[in-house]
Amino acid sequence: MAADRPQSDAETAQLTPSEALAALEWYRAAGVDMAISEAPVDRFAASAPPRRPTVPPPAPISAAPQHSPPPSPGAFPGTAPNADPAESKAIAAAAETLDALKAAMEQFEGCALKRRATQLVFADGNPEAEIMLVGEGPGEQEDLIGKPFVGRAGQLLDRMLGAIGLDRTKVYIANMVPWRPPGNRAPSPEEMAQCAPFLIRQVELVQPKILVTLGNVPTKALFETSQGITRVRGQLRDLTVGSYSLKGLATLHPAYLLRTPANKALAWQDMLALKAAIAPSATVED
């Protein structure tokens, strides 16, 4: 504890040595072990709450139109509801390679998710792979590291793939939105619309034979269905993604499986369906 040196009568008066020692002892007993200034400080005044700023009087109500449009109904916090998906569509269509697409996405400013994210999470795995997995969007770990599915859900995904002899050298992994939605919320419809052209272009450039959707969000978007994942999962279906046709297989999201491990049995059936589809005898090009 420190004390501002008091300018008391006792100090200005001449103290005898024993009075000075007694005063020091009194300070020491109170926990004071140093003097920090010559002048006393009014600590009560210093800790008084700051005065509230003066609130300007309300502007007169005017019939003139407002300049910023109101948020669209259902807009999610932090979204840019008026960003035009046609912009990402044109940018994605112009990319001739995955590298060009990644570079274009790094320059793209039309999705509000980007402003809150640490970095772009483009993809992981083998761009030559016959299997492409699509998740929902990066989480905290993915946002920090810059690769999809590297957190706990990703570790489970690796184990699911490993169970049927696959790993990241044999699959390509991306997400519906490549920037982390704040607080891991689901991407808004606006964000999905802005980012979907990038994912679609990734599929067209990778040209996998099978697309595996992980959970509801990519399944509804890419299977163009309103049916829930529990109805769609496990069945090999014909899909068209952009200008490219392939087989699609939906399965449960590994993050969901971490929360409800009883459903791992269903995911195991889906992994077996995937294994059967990629077996040499399987006619996945049918």
Selected range binding ligand URA among 37-45, 146-154, 197-205, 231-239, rule: CB under 6 A: 146-154
Residue 136 in contact with ligand URA, rule: CB under 6 A: yes
Instruction: Pick one of 153, 192, 193, 274: the residue that binds ligand URA (CB under 6 A).
Output: 153
Residues of this chain, 79-108, that bind ligand URA according to CB under 6 A: none
Q: How far is the CB of 53 from ligand URA (least distance, A)?
A: 43
Total site size for ligand URA, rule CB under 6 A? 12
Exposure letters 98-134 (e unless 16+ CB within 10 A, then b): beebbebbeebebbbbbeebebbbbbbbbeebbbbbb
142 binds ligand URA (CB under 6 A): yes
Residues 174-193 that bind ligand URA (CB under 6 A): 175
Beta bridge partners of 210: 131, 247
- Least Å from the CB of residue 158 to ligand URA: 12
Indicate the residue whose CB is closest to ligand URA: 135
148 binds ligand URA (CB under 6 A): yes
CA 165 – CA 130 distance, rounded (Å): 14
- The residue among 4 and 158 lying less far from ligand URA, judged by its C-beta, is 158
- Site stretch for ligand URA (CB under 6 A), options 14-22, 101-109, 129-137, 274-282: 129-137
Exactly one of 206, 255, 257, 271 binds ligand URA (CB under 6 A); which one? 255
Does 139 bind ligand URA (CB under 6 A)? Our answer is: yes
Binding segment for ligand URA (CB under 6 A), chosen from 21-29, 136-144, 230-238, 267-275, is 136-144
Q: Does 137 bind ligand URA (CB under 6 A)?
A: yes
Binding to ligand URA by residue 135, rule CB under 6 A? Answer: yes
Which is nearer to ligand URA, 108 or 149 (by Cβ)? 149
Q: Which is nearer to ligand URA, 71 or 263 (CB)?
A: 263
Catalog residues that contact ligand URA under the rule CB under 6 A.
135-139, 142, 148-149, 153-154, 175, 255
